[in-house]
Amino acid sequence: MRNKIIAVDGPAASGKEKISKYISKKWKLKHLDSGILYRRLALIFLNEKIDIKNLNNINKKISEIATISYQNSKKLRTQEVSKLASEIAIYNTVRLYINRLQHDFVKKNKNYQGFVIDGRDIGSVVFKKADLKLYIHVKPEIRAKRRYKQLIDSGEKSIYPKILKDIKLRDNRDKLRKHSPLVIPKDAYLIDNNGTFLETTMQIDKLILNKYL
Ligand code: CDP
């Protein structure tokens, strides 16, 4: 594999991050989680108490930030940041800005043999020419159960029905927004992640082996 891009898209809490980390390690590809960029930007708006209902405020702030860290952090995973990240993701200016950061990341890391990038619009918009596109499917109830456990394990207070409601709300926002809505790209492979992780990785490894070996 050389300079390959594997796009991993799917709805909230569908396991894109865990799957992408697995692919990154197994196939020696650099991982980029585009959700981190939306979350980092949301955290900046939150800390600076910027009213995100006003598009001028958003544009002004974005023009002041040259770049954003690609690193994950526990403070990006709170329910408050998750909600705000999903709210700012509807704006085209935010999406264009974060799309540029993703292309910069790939350019800066040209020495890697390839990339696995996860998000909502990687295969459909950001890297339309990705070599392999995966779309992760998991029922909302299973996603909510997994996210609930993740939050409890990390010491956050959490209520299952609220998580389920938030996930459905974010699904709707992701699917119904005007700019880069969450869609299954025509040329994507549907990955069933309702079962065990091993069942999921077996589907993926088979696809990668068929494609590259
Ligand atoms: O981990 P989870 O699926 O809950 O969220 P994430 O991937 O960290 O993304 C946080 C939010 O950013 C999501 O709710 C999306 O609305 C938005 N997002 C997006 O619109 N496009 C992307 N490529 C990645 C994230």
Note the pLDDT tens digit of each residue in 121-164: 999 999 999 999 999 999 999 999 999 998 899 888 889 999 99
pLDDT-derived band at 1, boundaries 50, 70, 90: low
CA of 27 to the centre of ligand 1 (A): 24
CA pair distance 5, 40, nearest whole angstrom: 23
The Cα–Cα gap between 130 and 1 comes to 13
pLDDT, one tens digit per residue, over 169-212 is 999 999 999 999 999 999 999 999 999 999 999 999 999 999 87
Cα(163)–Cα(88) distance, integer angstroms: 19
Atom of ligand 1 nearest to the CA of 173: 16
Q: Angle, nearest 10°, between helix axes 79-88 and 160-176?
A: 10
Task: Give dist(CA 8, CA 15) in Å, integer.
Answer: 10
CA of 8 to the centre of ligand 1 (A): 12
> Residue 92 has which token pair?
């085209």
Q: Report the mean per-residue pLDDT for the chain.
A: 94
Domains of the chain: 4-212 (3.40.50.300)
pTM of the model: 0.93
Of all protein residues, the one whose alpha carbon is nearest to atom 10 of ligand 1 is 35
Question: Are the beta carbons of 156 and 79 closer than 8 angstroms?
Answer: yes
For the chain, the residue count is 213
* pLDDT value at 12 more than 70: yes
Task: Give yes or no for a contact between 97 and 61, defined as CB atoms under 8 angstroms apart.
Answer: no
Which runs of consecutive H residues, i.e. helices, occur in the chain? 16-27, 34-47, 55-64, 79-88, 92-108, 140-153, 160-176, 197-212
Q: Whose CA is nearest to atom 23 of ligand 1?
A: 119
